[in-house]
Amino acid sequence: MMQLVLQKDAVLHTRNPMLYGHFLEHFHRQIYGGVYDPSSPFADADGFRTDVIEALRNIKTPVIRWPGGCFVSAYHWKKGVGKNRVPYFDKAWRMEESNAFGTDEFIRLCEKIGCAPYICTNAGTGDAEEMSDWVEYCNLKTEGEFARARIQNGYEKPYNVKYWSIGNENYGSWEMGAKEAHEWSRLVLESAKMMKRADADISLSAAALNNKSWNTTLLQAAGQWLDWISIHQYWDGLWRENNPSDYETCMNFANNLTSQIDSVRSLLTEMGLEKKIKIAFDEWNLRAWHHPNHDAPTSDKEKYLAPRDKNDLNSTYTMADAVFSACFLNALLRNADIVGMANFAPVVNTRGAIFTHKDGIVKRSTYYVFELYANYMYDQVIGFTCKDGGDSVDITATKDSQTGAVAIAAVNKHPADAVTIEIDGVLPGTCVIRTLNGESADDYNDVGRDSVRIKTSNGTPASGGRLTAELPPHSVTVISFG
Ligand code: AHR
Ligand code: AHR
């Protein structure tokens, strides 16, 4: 029996809702056939999938990062706006990009979803001028060539894109335009200067590495211009071999979620930047994307294009993905003083929370984790004491700063055993218990199969304000009080 005592007045942090953000890249079926599919019966007049948009609205998607990812490191945004879209060969993923979906389409999509756009610029083959011209196109009212081009393209009002980042993983040999630390820090400095001269109000990040000396060089050179520092992580390394780890292995991954956050936090604190610069964990997923040989010297498309379809196997995304993702969101809530944004990679298809097919969408197990956290967890992270918790239950507690209502997220990682939890210090009156689970730890959703879902019940705390509830094995539960 696990005993919890909530400390409603111990407010630890106020979380930024952008912790529940997403990432959208021009890779496989994320854009074409994902969010954008004019031929689909679900397409609206702009060609966007209305079923995808509705699903993203249902989980209050706060922000979407676009267009990459590796893709962006040779992407030239000017080819993706205006009447005449010329296709080009994308050397990141070695296939033709039609340019049919560009900046204007991305902004339209974000407007329909009701989320903030977050643009990642090309710091691979791009330069400070191209990045800052993009800011001009989006955010200047009427001045200069690029604001005028936006108006010419039919978009009178500036987009006021607030969130920008310089580059993707330009530290990695797999990235086009990869750079050494000193090259990187100089490019970030010069690009940041020009981007902020175009619009001083943008909130700017730069790609960082899980490496102290790299990040120190970056922050010493450009920290004065940065509002964020971006980090990425995938735990089940499926880039080359698509052999998804089993439930127990994924739970081991869930025991090591914050090593990057911890090291970046200590560096920012050491440099006295922890109040000025926040962490954007702007790509994360338990499962790395499968794309073997994309950077290998082979011309056999069967070796590097066809394998990407394996990302679409819905049986991959089990309760392991849901339980891991809930533990990760709990880790973000516990670190909400330094992590201000996180982007699940990606939004749709590949390893995303949503899978599209010709007759509709599949809500994979991870979709329901976002439905629980974005809709039923509150903005203030509060304290609690815990006894006999064992190590299979991962908990965070939150409070609504407006109403005082309380909600806790309780994740039971154990593959077989339920845990009974006793919660003291709750508000009187009934509470709502929402539990995400499947028939087994390996259960998943697919076309015509929706056994992974949220079950809702009411709980009635005893007169002394104590609630007893059961946490089933391999499950995610949010209990809302008041
Ligand atoms: O595997 C997909 C890639 O992962 C993204 O494009 C990149 O940002 C990260 O390395
Ligand atoms: O292209 C994605 C990159 O490929 C991953 O981030 C890297 O670790 C892998 O080698």
Q: How many angstroms is it from 345 CA to the middle of ligand 2?
A: 13
Degrees to nearest 5, angle at CA 225 with 220 and 231 = 75
The ligand that comes nearest to the alpha carbon of residue 292 is 2
Q: Are residues 402 and 302 in the same domain?
A: no
Q: Which residues pair with 421 in a beta bridge?
A: 2, 469
Ligand 1 geometric centre to CA of 351 (Å): 12
Q: Are residues 251 and 277 in the same domain?
A: yes
446 and 331 share one domain: no
- Which residues touch 233 (CB under 8 Å, ≥6 apart)? 210, 260, 281, 283, 284
For residues 439 and 450, what is the distance between their CA atoms, to the nearest angstrom? 10
Provide φ and ψ at 454, rounded to 5°. Answer: -95, 125
Query: Going by CA atoms, what residue is nearest to atom 1 of ligand 1?
Result: 289
Q: Which residues contact 423 (CB under 8 A, 6 or more apart)?
A: 4, 5, 6, 408, 461, 466, 467, 468, 469, 479
Q: Which amino acid is at 53?
A: I
Kindly state whether residues 115 and 170 are assigned to the same domain.
yes
By C-alpha distance, which of 174, 259, 171 is closest to 207?
171
The response to whether residue 89 sits with its C-beta less than 6 Å from ligand 2 reads no
Residue 482 has pLDDT above 80, yes or no: no
Calpha distance 171→155 (Å, rounded)? 36
The residue from 328, 353, 376 where one domain ends is: 376
174 CB near ligand 2 (under 6 Å) = yes
- pLDDT averaged over every residue in the chain: 96
pLDDT band at 252 (very low <50, low <70, confident <90, very high): very high
Measured at the alpha carbon of residue 254, what is the angle toward residues 248 and 256, in degrees to the nearest 5? 125
- Structure pTM? 0.97
Residues 361 and 390 in one domain: no
Of 314, 343, 376, the residue at which a domain comes to its end is: 376
CA–centroid distance, 228 to ligand 2, in Å, is 22
459 and 370 in a common domain: no
Q: Do residues 302 and 363 share a domain? A: yes
Domain, as residue range, for 448: 2-10+379-481
Confidence of residue 465 (pLDDT cuts 50, 70, 90): confident
- Ligand 1 proximal residues by C-beta, below 6 Å: 25, 68-70, 168-169, 232, 283, 288-289
| Cα–Cα distance, 67 to 56 (Å, whole number) | 18
Does an H or E element contain 476, and which? strand 475-481
What is the distance between the alpha carbons of residues 53 and 347, in angstroms, rounded to a whole number?
Answer: 11
Check pLDDT > 80 for residue 464: no
Co-location of 458 and 346 in the same domain: no
CATH of the domain at 437: 2.60.40.1180
Residues 389 and 344 in one domain: no
- Name every residue whose Cβ is closer than 8 Å to that of residue 315 and which is 6 or more positions away in sequence: 444, 446
Contact in structure between 436 and 369 (CB atoms under 8 Å): yes
**Position in ligand 2 atom list of the atom nearest CA 232:** 6
Q: pLDDT digits over 29-66, tens only?
A: 999 999 999 999 999 999 999 999 999 999 999 999 99
Query: What does the pLDDT read at residue 469?
Result: 94
Q: What is the pLDDT of residues 378-413, one digit of tens each?
A: 999 999 999 887 889 999 999 999 999 999 999 999
The predicted pLDDT at position 389 comes to 77
Query: DSSP secondary-structure letter at 224?
Result: G
- The distance from CA 1 to its chain's CA centroid, rounded to whole angstroms, is 34
Same domain, 140 and 108: yes
pLDDT over threshold 80, residue 428: no
DSSP-assigned letter for residue 359: T
Residue 473 CA to ligand 2 center (angstroms) comes to 33
* Poorest-pLDDT segment among 159-163, 294-298, 354-358, 393-397: 294-298
Cβ atoms of 104 and 155 within 8 Å: the answer is: yes
Neighbours of 226 (CB within 10 A): 25
- CB 303: neighbour CB atoms within 10 A? 13
DSSP element (H, E) containing 363: strand 360-363
pLDDT of residue 295: 86
**234 alpha carbon – ligand 1 mean position (Å):** 9
State yes or no: pLDDT of 461 exceeds 80. Answer: no
Residue 56 CA to ligand 2 center (angstroms) comes to 27
Say if residue 254 is in the same domain as residue 339.
yes
Total domains, the chain: 2
* Same domain membership, residue 339 and residue 389: no
Kindly state the helix (H) or strand (E) to which residue 216 belongs, with its residue range. helix 212-222
Residue 235 CA to ligand 1 centre (angstroms): 13
Q: Are 298 and 371 in contact (CB under 8 A)?
A: no
Cα(239) to centroid(ligand 1), Å: 9
Pocket test for ligand 1, best of 22, 25, 350 (most atoms within 8 A of CB): 25
* Ligand 2: nearest atom to the Cα of 291: 1
Do residues 251 and 320 make contact, with C-beta atoms less than 8 angstroms apart?
A: yes
* CATH number assigned to the domain comprising residue 95: 3.20.20.80
Count of residues making up the chain: 482
- CA dist 124 and 151 (Å) reads 28
Tell me, using a 6 A CB cutoff, whether residue 70 lines ligand 2. yes
Lookup: tokens for 444 = 């998943």
- pLDDT tens digit sequence for 95-121: 999 999 999 999 999 999 999 999 999
DSSP 80: G
Picking from 376, 398, 430, the residue at the C-terminal end of a domain is: 376
Report the separation in Å between the CA atom of 240 and the middle of ligand 2, taken as the mean of its atom positions.
Answer: 9
CA–CA distances in Å: residue 189 to residues 56, 133, 196, 217, 277: 35, 16, 11, 11, 15
Is the Cβ–Cβ distance between 397 and 384 less than 8 Å? yes
CB proximity list for 137: less than 8 A, separation 6 or greater:
77, 81, 103, 146, 147, 149, 150
Q: Of all helices (H) and strands (E), which one includes residue 473?
A: none
Nearest alpha-carbon partner for 422 in 473, 452, 465? 465
Mean pLDDT of all residues in 328-342? 98
Cα distance between residue 241 and residue 477, in whole Å: 33
Residue nearest to atom 8 of ligand 1 (CA): 69
The residue whose C-alpha atom lies closest to atom 4 belonging to ligand 1 is: 69
Summarize the confidence of residues 425-440 as an average pLDDT: 90
In the predicted structure, residue 451 carries a pLDDT above the cut 80: yes
What pLDDT is recorded for position 425?
A: 83
Residue of minimum CA distance from atom 2 in ligand 1: 289
